[in-house]
Each structure stands twice: as C-alpha cells, then as structure tokens.
Structure 1
Amino acid sequence: MKKPFPWHIVVFLAPAFLIYALFSAFPLLDTLRLGFYVTSDTNQQHFAGLANYYTLMVDPHWSEGFWNAMRNNVKFFLVHMLIQNPIGLLLAALLSMRGVRGAKAYQTLIFLPTLLSVVIIGFVWQLILSPLWGVAETLLGYVGLAEHFQPWLGDESTALFTLSLMSVWQFVGIPMMLIYAALIAIPDEIIEAAVVEGASAWRIFWTIRVPLILPTLGLTTILTFVGNFNAFDLIYSVKGALAGPGYSTDILGTYFYRAFFGYQSQLGSPTLGAAVATMMFLVILIGVGLYFFFVQRKLQRFSF
C-alpha cells in the first residue's frame, strides 16, 4: 500500500521556510547580484561584472581602507580566540568542579553582560576609561599602577585592542556556558575510573575532559569567527562610523556602513556596499568551509 504524502510536515515547515526565504535567503541573493552592478552619476544601475571587486582590491581610494579593515578584523578575531575562549574554558572548568559554592550565581553574573545592549556596554566603558572623569586611573592607583594609565581608546596603537577586550568582557559568558554544558555532560564513570587509576586532576582535565569536548570547542571557534567578522555595533557605538582614531579600529562592518550609506563627506554607493557585504560573506563562508574540511572531519573520525 502506497503511503500518503506527509502534507502535515509541509504545512508546519512552510511558515519557517517562507520567513527564512523572505528575510534571509532573498536579501542575500539580491546582495550578491547587486555587487555586480555600478551606480552612475544619474543614480542608474548597470551591469559591470567584477568592477566593484577590482575597485576594492586595487583602487587606492578604496583598497587601502578595505585591507586595513580586513587586517583589523583579523586582529579583533585573534584577541577573542586567544583571550576570550581560553578564559571561557578556564571559567567553565572551575565552575564545573564539585563543591564550588555559588557556582550558579557566578554563571549568572558572568553571562549577564551578554544580555545587555552593546550601546550600554560601550557607553559605560567609555565613562570608565575616560581620562577626564573615568575611574580607571583611580582604580589603578589603588594597586600602584596609576602611572601606566593612558587614554587607551584615543591612542591608535591601543584603541582596537581595548575595544576587543571590552567585547571579550561582554561575551565571554557564551563560550563559558557552552563549554560548561559539555563538561557536565561527561559521564561520571569515566572520571571516577581515571581517579581510581591514580590520575591527577590536571591530567584528567587535559587527557580526558578536553578531548571529549573538542566538538564544543570547535563550535565556539566557529561562533567566534562568524560573530567577529559580522561585528559592527560595538565599534560604531564607541568610535562612530569613522572608527577612529585614524581608522585604527575600522573593521569590515564599519567599512561596509560607510561604503553603502556614506558618511559625512563620503558618498555612499549601494552597489559598492553590496560588494563589501559579499566579501564579508565569502570570508565567513571560506573560514567555515575550511573548518569543516580540515577540523570537523577529524573530530568525526576521532569520535568513532
């Protein structure tokens, strides 16, 4: 007997599919299409092939800013990878230990900043780090480090790193909670067997716990990569669309904003902005693809 077609599945999936197609898939495809057009002086668009991408890569007026934003975005990502995720792993390991008093309270306090608006985070940290009325210099004075205080957000050499640390402070709760969930899911029998064999806590962590949570560590890496190369709001809320001082905090998100909408004396171009957005999409796509090709396959073989 032939089974009837499962129309009920189509009915339940159709709303989500339509919403995704309307608000995600179609805008993405239209952005990819728009990147192959240029806007004339009469505001008319015509097909120009790879002209916009040639402008971004070669034209000194645009390429210098584009590659500067790309380099800054890589630095922004590396700070999160080398500081945020290891701290998240450390916090998760500490909070997953038995007998830690107030573990749930600590988790809530650490995760709470991720729920706050980025605008609020940026404004508060600007007040804290302000050389005029901020409390950072006073706090450093309590530990004898007042002479090391400087306007970190106003110095080209430190502004991007300072903003990166502000972002780390806000979002460290996300990798912490993901890794914490993976750690507490490890069967107690495995840990107890290692203890019986005489393994130290340090050895248990690095030889048993960490290998078992490698898929979760890979997930946090991907989420960090995608989130950082889509970043925009923190830089914009603290330093504005010009991402000062001297474009030292400019990343692909702020560069896209200026290219698409224009800012001050710079005129915007929707077609060139679409090309920048397409480059951001390709960077993320290539990064995620390389991860799945070189890392995820090994993790799957390891799990088997």
Structure 2
Amino acid sequence: MVVRHSFSSNGGINSMNKWIKSHIFLVFLLPGIVLYGLFMVYPLLSALGYSLFSWDGLIREGFVGFENFRKVLTEIPYKERFWNALAHNVKFFIITFVLQTTVGLYIAVKLTQKRPGMGFFQAIYFLPYTLSMVVVGFLWLLLLNPNWGAFNQFLKLIGLEELIQPWLGQESTALITIILVNFWRWLGFPVLVFKAGLQSIPEELNEAAIIDGANSWQLFRYITLPLLKPTIAMVTIITFIWDFNAFDLVFVMQGSSGNPHYATDLLATFFYRTAFGDPTTGAAGGDTGIASAIAVLMLIIIGIASYFGIKIMQRSEVEY
C-alpha cells in the first residue's frame, strides 16, 4: 500500500511538473497581459459602457442606449465636426501612405546598395522616429514661427520671400503642414521595414532575371515589388492605425487663426475636446457620453479597416 501511494504521488508530481514546463510561458506573458488588460481592454470596455448613458459632466445619469451615437452621426454640431474630423483623418492617412510608399521605398532601395556611408544615412533617417511627438511638435512650432522661424528665414535667404506665410496660422496650410511634419517624424520606420523586406528577397532571383536580360526597372517591377507587397501592406496597416489615433502632434501644432480646431481636427482631438471641453465654443465642461461614442466609432473604423487590411496582406503573400 505504501509503495502504491508513493508511486501515485510521484506520478502526480511528474504530471504537475510537465504541466508547469509546458505552460511556463504564461508566467512571462502574465505581466504583459495584466498591463494590456488594465490600460487597453478595460478603457475600451468602459468607453462602450459610458457611451450608452447620458452624462452631466462626470456624473452618470440615465441609460439612453444608442442615443449618443445618433447625436454624433446626425445631430448638429456633432455631425459636422465628426465628418469633418473623419475626412481629415482620411486625408492624413492617404498623404502619409503615398509619401512613405514612394519616398520611403526609394530611400530603402538606395540604402540596400553596398556603398560607403549607408549606415550613417540610415541612422540619420531613423533619428526623428526616436523623438517624442510632443518634442517634434514644439520643435516645428519654433521652426515654422512666421516672424523669426528658421524655415521662413531660409526661404528669405534663398530669395523665395513670396512663399513666406504663417503655415500653422491659416486654414489652407495648417493641416497639410502637420501631415508633412508627421511624415518627417514617421519616415524612419517604413524605411527600416522596407529595407528589411528588401534584404529578405533572395539574391538568386535578381541574378536569374539579369541573366535573362532584365533591366533595373524590370527587376523592381516584376521581382522586388511583388515580393515586397506583404511588407508594404503591413506598414500600411500600422500607418492607418497610427494616423486614425493621431493626437499629440496635432494637439501641439494646431493653428491659431480663424477656426484652427475645425481646420486641423482629427477624430482623436475631436474626442478630447468633446470629453474635456471645447475652447472654440467656450464650453468649460465636456460630455462623457458623446465622447465615449466617438471613441467607440473610432474603434469600429480602425477595427474594420485593419481586418480587411490583414486579409489583403495574407492574400498578397508570396512563397519563394
């Protein structure tokens, strides 16, 4: 009896040890899961719950269902500002996407060439990406100052005084200026990813095409670009998510004439001003229910677009 009990105990201990060894990864994942749940999942679920109630400032009142969503999408002034901000987000993304897949890919192709100094230039292009968005925003606020900013002074120095203007102080140029600053800061990331994708393409494919008489453009068009499509799709999805969550740079750099918030508003800044008060209307307090509805709509837009983007990326994968 003692022997059998000992055998049974050893078997249980061995089974427990095997389970621990096979699930040890949970120990390392647990801190990340807790932090993600605390700072991502819980706020999202809270926003969904808050959006279903009416609020008096920070005081929750009665249950209203989807009334807050109806107000955001159909009731003035929320309707105009929501669709205006959404249009700006779309413009923000499209311009950034076009620039990074042309300029960024061109730079990445050049950096893959075996020439002296390529490592130095790679570091130079990636350096702005390491800076905080708030730092970048205040830096460019100084550079673009209409009176003594270095950018306008440079235009004056090279004889282009007619181009000098308050870039962030007028509605016609404020948004595009912020987009270009964002692109300058963001450029290093797609360049680095594109370069990694280019280096993963087997050299034998290019060598075989050259033997068959392919020129540089044909190599890029029929070999490099098709094999790089999954990388481009991945960078595009990340760019879309970032651009539809963009807040800090826009908040720091919003212009100061006319109705600057309306001219440069994105969904994230619209959400912020709705939740904590709108200085353009003199409103001191915000509407938590309406703001939460905006946040949920942002989540839906980003989620749907990301889902289809991932599907497209999976279809574009090429095996070689």
TM-score by length of 1: 0.91
5+ long unaligned stretches in structure 2: 1-10
**Alpha-carbon distance in 2 for matches of 1:157, 1:118:** 23
Quickly say closer, same or farther: Cα 1:127–1:241, change in 2 above 3 A: closer
8 Å Cα contact 2:53-2:62 kept in structure 1: yes
Look up the SS of the partner of 2:98 in the other structure. Answer: helix
Residue number among 2, 13, 21 corresponding to 2:29 in the alignment: 13
Task: Name the amino acid aligned to 1:299.
Answer: S
1:252 maps onto 2:285 in alignment = no
Match of 2:197 among 170, 182, 186: 182
CA 1:17 to 1:119, structure 2 compared with 1: closer, same or farther past 3 Å?
closer
Cα 1:273–1:189 change in 2 (3 A) is same
Aligned-pair identity in percent equals 36
* Aligned with 1:87 (options 83, 103, 112): 103
2:151 to 109, 127, 136: 136
Match of 1:213 in 2: 228
Q: Structure 1: which amino acid aligns with 2:168?
A: L
Q: Partners in 2 of 1:286 and 1:241 — Cα distance?
A: 35
| 1:231 partner SS | coil
Task: Tell me the amino acid that sits aligned with residue 119 of structure 1.
Answer: V
In the alignment, the residues of structure 2 paired with residue 77 and residue 195 of structure 1 have an alpha-carbon distance, to the nearest angstrom, of 37
Matches of 2:58 and 2:32, distance apart in 1: 40
**1:1-304 alignment to 2 at 5 Å?**
4-5=18-19, 6-40=22-56, 43-98=59-114, 100-239=115-254, 244-245=259-260, 247-264=262-279, 265-266=282-283, 267-293=285-311, 295-300=312-317, 302-303=318-319
Larger Rg: 2
Following superposition, the deviation at residue 141 of structure 1 comes to 3.4
For residues 122-175 of structure 1, give each alpha carbon's deviation from its aligned partner in whole angstroms, at most 9, with x where no partner exists: 222122222211122332234432212221211111110011001001111110
Q: 1:239 to 1:181 in 2, by over 3 A?
A: same
Kept after mapping to 2: 8 A contact 1:69/1:255: yes
One-letter amino acid matched to 2:310: F
Q: Conserved in 1, the CA contact under 8 Å of 2:170 and 2:257?
A: no
Write the distance in 1 (CA, Å) between the matches of 2:41 and 2:58.
30
Q: Deviations over 1:107-126 (max 9, x none)?
A: 11111011112222122212
Structure 1 residue ranges without an equivalent (≥5): none
Distance in structure 1 (CA, Å) of the matches to 2:202 and 2:38? 43
**How many corresponding residue pairs?**
301
Post-superposition offset of 1:40: 4.1
Partners of 2:57 and 2:133 lie apart in 1 by: 37
* Match in the other structure for 2:8: none
Task: Compute the RMSD of aligned alpha carbons.
Answer: 2.3
CA distance in 2, matches of 1:30, 1:148: 48
Letter in 1 for 2:239: T
Distance 2:73 2:216 in 1: 51
How has the CA–CA distance of structure 1 residues 194 and 14 changed in structure 2, closer, same or farther, with 3 Å as cutoff? Answer: same
* Secondary structure of the structure 1 residue equivalent to 2:165: coil
Measured in 2, the distance between the counterparts of 1:241 and 1:33 equals 35
State the alpha-carbon separation in 1 of the partners of residues 258 and 120 from structure 2.
36
Paired letter, 2:198? L
Read off the aligned partner of 1:296 and give its amino acid letter: M
* Matches of 2:266 and 2:119, distance apart in 1: 36
Change (3 A) 1:203 1:69: same
CA offset digits 1:187-221 (Å, max 9, x no partner): 12112222222211221112111111111000110
What secondary structure sits across from 2:172 in the alignment? coil
Cα displacement (A) at 1:50: 0.5
Change (3 A) 1:42 1:17: closer
Q: How far 1:231 sits from its partner (Å)? A: 0.1
Structure 1 CA distance, aligned partners of 2:245 and 2:51?
18
